[in-house]
Chain A
Amino acid sequence: DNHVHSSFIYRRLRNHERREIQREILSILGLPHRPKPFSPAKQASSAPLFMLDLYNAMATEEAEEDALLEDTGKAISMNSLGNSRKSQHSAPYGYSRAPVAWTSQSPPLATSHDANFLNDADMVMSFVNLVERDRDFSHQRRHYKEFRFDLTQIPDGEAVTAAEFRIYKDHSHGRYENVTLKVSIYQVIKEYQNRDAETFLLDSKKIRASDGGWLVFDITATSNHWVLNPQQNMGLQLCVETMDGRSINMKSAGIIGRSGPQSKQPFLVAFFKASEVLLRSVR
Chain B
Amino acid sequence: ATGGKRKNPTRNKGRSQPKTSQASRIGDQNISEQKQACKKHELYVSFRELGWQDWIIAPEGYAAFYCDGECSFPLNAHMNATNHAIVQTLVHLMFPDNVPKPCCAPTKLNAISVLYFDDSSNVILKKYRNMVVRSCGCH
Contact = CB atoms under 8 A, between A and B. Distances in A.
B111 A42 contact: no
Contact of A35 (B15, B115, B119, B129): B119
Contacts of A69: 108, 134
A25 B50 contact: yes
A34 B53 CA distance: 11
Contacts of B68: 5, 7
- The binding surface of chain B is classed by DSSP as strand
Contacts of A18: 50
Given A5-B41, A6-B13, A25-B50, 19 more contacts: A3-B36, A6-B15, A6-B18, A25-B45, A29-B126, A35-B118, A35-B119, A46-B117, A48-B57, A48-B117, A48-B123, A51-B123, A55-B125, A58-B113, A62-B112, A121-B127, A122-B127, A123-B126, A125-B122
B119 A37 contact: yes
Contacts of B124: 123-125
Contacts of B58: 52, 55
Given A48-B57, A62-B113, A125 B127 contact: no
B17 interface: yes
A37 B50 contact: no
25 contacts: A3-B36, A5-B68, A6-B21, A8-B41, A35-B118, A37-B120, A42-B120, A42-B121, A45-B121, A46-B117, A52-B57, A52-B115, A54-B125, A55-B58, A55-B125, A58-B125, A59-B113, A62-B111, A66-B134, A123-B124, A124-B125, A125-B122, A125-B125, A128-B120, A150-B120
Given A29-B126, A29-B128, A123-B127, A7 B113 contact: no
Nearest to B13: A6
A259 interface: no
B129 A122 contact: yes
B15 A37 contact: no
Contacts of B129: 122
Contacts of B108: 69
A51 B45 contact: no
Contact of A47 (B17, B54, B123): B123
Contacts of B127: 58, 121-123
Interface of A: 3, 5-8, 18, 21-22, 25, 28-30, 34-39, 42-43, 45-48, 51-52, 54-55, 58-59, 62, 66, 69, 121-128, 150, 153
Contacts of B59: 59
B114 interface: yes
A115 to B, nearest CB: 14
Given A6-B15, A35-B116, A62-B111, A153 B122 contact: yes
Interface string B96-122: 000000000000101111111111111
B113 A128 contact: no
A35 B123 contact: no
Contacts of A28: 128, 131
A36 B55 contact: yes
Top 10 A-B pairs, shortest CB-CB distance: A37-B117, A42-B121, A124-B125, A55-B115, A51-B123, A7-B15, A37-B121, A58-B113, A126-B123, A43-B121
Interface string B30-49: 00000010000100010000
Nearest to B54: A37
A265 to B, nearest CB: 12
Nearest to A39: B121
Contacts of A3: 36
A51 B118 CA distance: 13
Nearest to A42: B121
A153 B123 CA distance: 11
A18 B118 CA distance: 21
A123 B118 CA distance: 13
B37 to A, nearest CB: 12
